[in-house]
């Protein structure tokens, strides 16, 4: 055995092909010990494939996956110190709840005493707050309860890494939120690495301390949640994570001035490559004001639609020369405290520093 690595999981130039389909291409990824990493991306981008290569259900076509510093090529799932919570739980229908959880313990060689197996299975069930359900049949459990049985079953062997493939996708919104918190608590209690696959960006941002955004079989950005949101690596990330307004623009020859397609010029940092670019602007980075009370606004437009959300409101605004914009406004930030009505003329201001410029 090599010396313990600081990384629980490492992908080195991993490519996976299924016949003629390339599921993931040249993935490089390191997951430090104890991290909570989310693999986020649209359907079919290769998240499950990555997870299955860690679990040992698929072998990379090229490259190497390392677990705890050891190369795992050719190592079968039953010899890996990782456990998985399957997308549809994959609970054993012929066992009751406790037998499901005890299954992993029963595989240990030399065999564990049955009293220890039972005690540890019950302890795992306590951890997911399912004490008292030991003798229930799987089909007598609700979706959320089955989800927690799957969780207990996966943590009972004390894996160094827990893999979760869209574990909350089948739950309703309220239960999902509750489980998100439970999962985070559980990860802190266990102190082990969690790799969570999800296509729900809110889930990824709220739960993980590292988000790995994937698109079309590649990793496009790996960063802390707030960095993924505030400093998207490219337009895909800007669009996929949170909402964004796209504006066609040109970077002027000085590399520091941005000319939007309606002619408005903005100061835009420095060192940009001159030429055509796309500008991304978050809806909440924009401030809204009634035209009457203000001047010096950057853009002007007409409110076409309003969605009232309680403390905030979302406006769709037809900006002169630029088309539809989405603006999220805090009620306090709108002058005269009242909601702006559809049809009203407004000005939009924003800090040019919050603009993301992506060369076309």
Residues that bind ligand ATP (CB under 6 A): 18, 21, 23, 41, 43-49, 199
SS3 of residue 18 by DSSP? strand
> Which residue is it, tokens 């609970």?
91
Complete DSSP assignment for 77-108: GGGSSEEEE-TT----TTSBHHHHHHHHHHT-
Of 3-11, 48-56, 228-236, 304-312, which part binds Mg ion (CB under 5 A)?
A: 48-56
Of 274, 290, 201, the closest CA to residue 241 belongs to 201
Is 76 near other proteins (CB under 8 A)?
yes
Give residue 246's Cα distance to chain centre. 22
* Smaller CB separation from Mg ion, 48 or 328: 48
Exactly one of 16, 31, 35, 48 binds Mg ion (CB under 5 A); that residue is 48
* String of contacts with other proteins for each residue 121-160, x by CB under 8 A: ----------------xxx-------------xx--x---
Q: How far apart are CA 82 and CA 60, in angstroms?
A: 17
- State the binding partner of 176 from Mg ion, ligand ATP, other proteins, none, CB within 5 to 8 A by kind: none
**Tokens, residue 125:** 């069930």
Q: How many residues does the chain have?
A: 360
Is 84 near other proteins (CB under 8 A)?
yes
- State the binding partner of 104 from Mg ion, ligand ATP, other proteins, none, CB within 5 to 8 A by kind: other proteins
The minimum distance between CB 201 and ligand ATP, in angstroms, equals 12
Q: Cα angle vertex 178, ends 172, 180, to 5°?
A: 95
Size, binding site for other proteins by CB under 8 A: 27
Q: How far apart are CA 198 and CA 257, in angstroms?
A: 38
Q: Are 232 and 356 in contact (CB under 8 A)?
A: yes
Q: How far apart are CA 216 and CA 24, in angstroms?
A: 7
- State the binding partner of 321 from ligand ATP, other proteins, Mg ion, none, CB within 5 to 8 A by kind: none
The minimum distance between CB 198 and Mg ion, in angstroms, equals 9
Is 49 near Mg ion (CB under 5 A)?
no
Of 8-16, 42-50, 101-109, 337-345, which part binds other proteins (CB under 8 A)?
A: 101-109
The minimum distance between CB 159 and other proteins, in angstroms, equals 9
Q: Are 232 and 238 in contact (CB under 8 A)?
A: yes
Site of interaction with other proteins (CB under 8 A): 55-57, 76-78, 82-84, 86, 88, 90-94, 103-104, 106-108, 137-139, 153-154, 157
């Amino acid at each position: 055995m090599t010396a313990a690595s600081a990384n629980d999981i490492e992908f080195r130039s991993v490519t996976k092909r299924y016949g003629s389909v390339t599921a993931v291409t040249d993935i490089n990824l390191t997951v430090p010990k104890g991290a909570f990493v989310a693999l986020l991306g649209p359907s079919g981008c290769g998240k499950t494939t990555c997870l299955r290569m860690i679990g040992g259900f698929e072998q990379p076509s090229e490259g190497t996956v390392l677990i705890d510093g050891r190369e795992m090529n050719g190592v079968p799932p039953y010899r890996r110190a990782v456990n998985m919570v399957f997308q549809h739980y994959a609970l054993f229908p012929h066992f009751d709840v406790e037998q499901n959880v005890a299954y992993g313990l029963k595989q240990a060689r030399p065999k564990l005493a049955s009293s220890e197996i039972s005690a540890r299975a019950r302890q795992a069930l306590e951890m997911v707050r399912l004490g008292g359900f030991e003798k229930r049949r799987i089909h007598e459990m609700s979706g959320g309860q089955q989800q927690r049985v799957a969780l207990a079953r996966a943590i009972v062997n004390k894996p160094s890494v827990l893999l979760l493939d869209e574990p909350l996708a089948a739950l309703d919104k309220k239960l999902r939120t509750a489980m998100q918190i439970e999962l985070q608590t559980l990860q802190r209690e266990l102190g082990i690495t969690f790799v969570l696959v999800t296509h729900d960006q809110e889930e990824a941002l709220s739960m993980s301390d590292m988000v790995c955004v994937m698109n079309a079989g590649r990793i496009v950005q790996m960063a802390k949640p707030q960095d993924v949101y505030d400093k998207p690596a490219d337009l895909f990330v800007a669009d996929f994570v949170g909402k964004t307004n796209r504006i066609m623009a040109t970077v002027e020859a000085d590399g520091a001035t941005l000319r939007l397609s309606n002619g408005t010029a903005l100061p835009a940092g420095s060192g940009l490559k001159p030429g055509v670019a796309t500008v991304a602007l978050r809806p909440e980075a924009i401030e809204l004001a009634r035209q009457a009370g203000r001047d010096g606004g950057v853009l002007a437009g007409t409110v076409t639609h309003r969605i009232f959300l309680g403390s905030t409101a979302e406006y769709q605004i037809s900006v002169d020369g630029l088309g539809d914009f989405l603006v999220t406004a805090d009620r306090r930030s709108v002058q005269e405290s009242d909601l702006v009505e559809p049809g009203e003329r407004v000005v939009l201001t924003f800090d040019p520093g919050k603009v993301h410029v992506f060369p076309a």
